[in-house]
Amino acid sequence: MSDFQIDWDAQTVTCPQGKISRHWKREHGPRDKPTIQVQFSKADCLACPVRAQCTRSTRGRRELTLHPREAHLALQAARVRQATPDFKACYDLRAGIEGTISQTVCVLDARRSRYIGLAKTHLQQLLTAAAINLTRVDNWLEEIPRAKTRRSAFAALRVA
């Protein structure tokens, strides 16, 4: 998507090969959200030497689905921000939290409560949290890594 040049005022899109779109139509996508459907000429797409990089269709033309201008620009700005070192450092904290939630749901089956009532459900949550901590401490003591891409927070504390 970032290789295509969008001219919002002229309502055209230019592909990386310099071909200009033929159709620009406002529609509603999933959940009735406004979208813009852009289509290129079938003749341009069929003759394109880099067609496989644009579309999986073997017979049709290239089509793009765009968000409205403001939403599209905000999305592009967010993608640029995601590539910055500051964002990656901030996201590392979130990744640890997401890992804990994933472990809780997948390993300890915490998506649903096994009990009825607030007190019993709260007790289950406390015991699940304790089980996560005990499992992580045991894995740390046994030197079992959580994942190849992660480093345990306990690793900095470990004295050889």
Instruction: Give tens-digit pLDDT for 40-57.
Output: 888 888 888 888 787 777
The whole-number pLDDT of residue 69 equals 94
The whole-number pLDDT of residue 160 equals 46
Q: What integer is the mean pLDDT of 1-21?
A: 89
CB 113 within 8 A of CB 121: yes
Percent of the chain with pLDDT over 90: 37
pLDDT tens for each residue of 13-33: 998 888 899 999 999 888 889
Say yes or no to pLDDT of 10 above 70.
yes
Contacts of 61 (CB under 8 A, 6+ apart): 39, 40, 41, 42, 44, 45, 46, 55
The whole-number pLDDT of residue 107 equals 81
CB 55 within 8 A of CB 62: yes
Highest mean pLDDT among 70-79, 87-96, 144-153: 70-79
Instruction: Specify burial of residue 35 (Cβ count, 10 A radius: 0-12, 13-18, 19+).
Output: middle
